[in-house]
Amino acid sequence: MPDVVVIGAGIVGAACAYYAARAGLDVAVVDRGPVAGGTTGAGEGNILVSDKEPGPELGLALLSNRLWRELAASGDGEGARRAPGGARPGGLRGPARAGGGFEFEAKGGLVVAETAQAMEALAGLAARQGAGSASGGAVESTVVAPDRLRDYEPHLAGGLAGGVFYPQDAQVQPALAAARLIRGGAERFGRSALTLRTGVTVTGFTRDGGRVTGVRTDRGDIPAGAVVNAAGTWGGEVAALAGTHVPVLPRRGFILVTEPLEKPLIRHKVYTAAYVTAVASDSAGLETSAVVEGTPAGPVLIGASRERAGFDRTVPPAVLGRLAAQAVALFPALARRRVIRAYCGFRPYCPDHLPVIGEDPRAPGLYHACGHEGAGIGLAPATGHLLAQALTGLRTDLDLTPFRPDRFEGERR
């Protein structure tokens, strides 16, 4: 019997399994689909501190940023990948290497402002972020004058009002990262410590009195000492099977992928100030903002859109056209490049924009790790690390109170 069953083989579930196995627990991961078959496989791989206001989520992001770098430098991989070429602003230097086996790139992020008002807001956010957080860390940033933007991005459009460079921002290949964490956990901590079962649908929970003691599946019951709900966009449905309320909703987004470029065009993750506003928005309607970044394989990824449209996978050409136009406005050279595909994913959105992390007091033995919206890839290691501490009775490195699963109970109808 495993100590823990993790529901979900996306990046958050993989991180929960990895850190629980590292803590000495036997773990079984179950998923009705393949590894990274949901939101994770449709993500850009962002590891961001730049888009978060000071508060609980920023503390989680700073902890996770450090853990991602430890994972990339650990025995599970070959070290961190740096941006190609020589010395760069932000200290990037040296040849490209495949970081951690999952293309970890410590390339930094450049947030640009199109107006003086937006630039003032960006500089104010950077100042607040740099004051420190509950995790004991602080966000590093450099305010960039308009005439210095091309020192960071030579192909950037002119006429911008300035920007802020964040050296801690990074990127991974998310599907590879989820697979590496599961495989790495199994190989490093013993195959009996971490097992994976795909094609298994959870249909309910077993209980002893009020305590959750395992999961019911279409392949039979799996008893366990504890269960982790890392089902991403379907986290609310899994919680409902236990009779608890966790309001996770899908928030659709599209990504364009260009043809591979022979030479790197974009050095960092680059996005406009409007992206920060869109991340924090409560609007159910369509919002788009330019987000552009290269990949080790050569294609450029272009986003980002947000809207609450249920699980509708319809691809509106007008949305794709808007994303392409916004990317070209930032990098005019992209106008000469072809888009070879587009895809959509569903971010697991919570109304207060905070994930749900920790044991559910309404169903003891059930732990939640879901609702990360578009930050799940970046926040996955911290989530897994903190849950492993909670599962083993240790004091968690961060206070989990802001993420408690029952904080929405008063909204339940």
Q: How many domains does the chain have?
A: 3
User: Is the same domain home to 357 and 240?
Assistant: yes
Average pLDDT, whole number, for the chain? 90
Specify whether 147 is located in the same domain as 70.
yes
- For residue 189, give the H/E element and its range: helix 174-189
Picking from 95-104, 251-260, 321-330, 356-365, which range would have the lowest pLDDT averaged per residue? 95-104
pLDDT digits 0-9 by tens, 162-197: 999 999 999 999 999 999 999 999 988 876 789 999
**Residues 182 and 33 reside in one and the same domain:** yes
Whether residue 315 lies inside any domain: the answer is yes
Q: Are residues 258 and 305 in the same domain?
A: yes
Note the pLDDT of residue 409.
Answer: 81
Query: What pLDDT sits at residue 278?
Result: 64
Tokens 């077993």 sit on residue: 206
pLDDT at residue number 80: 41
Return d(Cα 325, Cα 337) in angstroms, integer.
12
Cα-Cα-Cα-Cα torsion 58, 60, 66, 72, nearest 10 degrees, comes to -120
Q: Please, which pLDDT band fits residue 277 given cuts at 50, 70 and 90?
A: confident
Same domain, 298 and 376: no
Q: What are phi and psi of 322, to 5 degrees?
A: -65, -40
Q: For residue range 249-263, what is the model confidence (pLDDT) as tens digits?
A: 999 999 999 999 989
Whose CA is closest to 160, among 177, 173, 147? 147
| 391-406: average pLDDT | 97
| Residue 225 and residue 310 in one domain | no
| Same domain flag for 71 and 140 | yes
Query: What are the tokens at 148?
Result: 């210095």
> How far apart are the C-alpha atoms of 146 and 152, rounded to whole Å?
11
Q: Of the candidates 74, 67, 28, which has an alpha carbon nearest to the alpha carbon of residue 47?
A: 67
For residue 387, being part of any structural domain is answered with yes
pLDDT in tens, 200-217: 999 999 999 999 999 999
User: Looking at the domain assignment, is residue 83 inside a domain?
Assistant: no
Measured between alpha carbons, how far is 63 from 27 in angstroms, rounded to an integer? 23
314 versus 387: the higher-pLDDT residue is 387
Residue after which a domain boundary falls, among 171, 194, 222: 171
- 134 and 19 in a single domain? The answer is no
Same domain? For 217 and 308 the reply is no
Per the rule left: phi > 0, alpha: psi between -120 and 50, beta: everything else, 133 is beta
Asked whether residue 100 is assigned to any structural domain, the reply reads no
Q: What is the CATH number of the domain that holds 295?
A: 3.30.9.10
Write the burial class of residue 48 (CB in 10 Å: 0-12 exposed, 13-18 middle, 19+ buried).
Answer: buried
Residue 322 pLDDT: 94
Q: Domain end: 305, 333, 349, which one?
A: 349
pLDDT reading at 83 higher than 90: no
Q: Are 240 and 202 within 8 A, CB to CB?
A: no
Q: Do 145 and 232 share a domain, yes or no?
A: no
Q: What's the N-to-C CA distance of the chain in angstroms?
A: 37
Q: Are residues 12 and 140 in the same domain?
A: no
CA pair distance 270, 252, nearest whole angstrom: 21
Side chain identity at 72, as an amino acid letter?
A
| Together in a domain, 157 and 278 | no
Q: State phi, psi for 167 to the nearest 5 degrees.
A: -65, -20
For the stretch 34-82, pLDDT in tens is 999 999 999 989 999 999 999 999 999 999 999 999 999 985 533 344 4
Let me know if residue 160 belongs to a domain.
yes
Domain region containing 288? 249-349
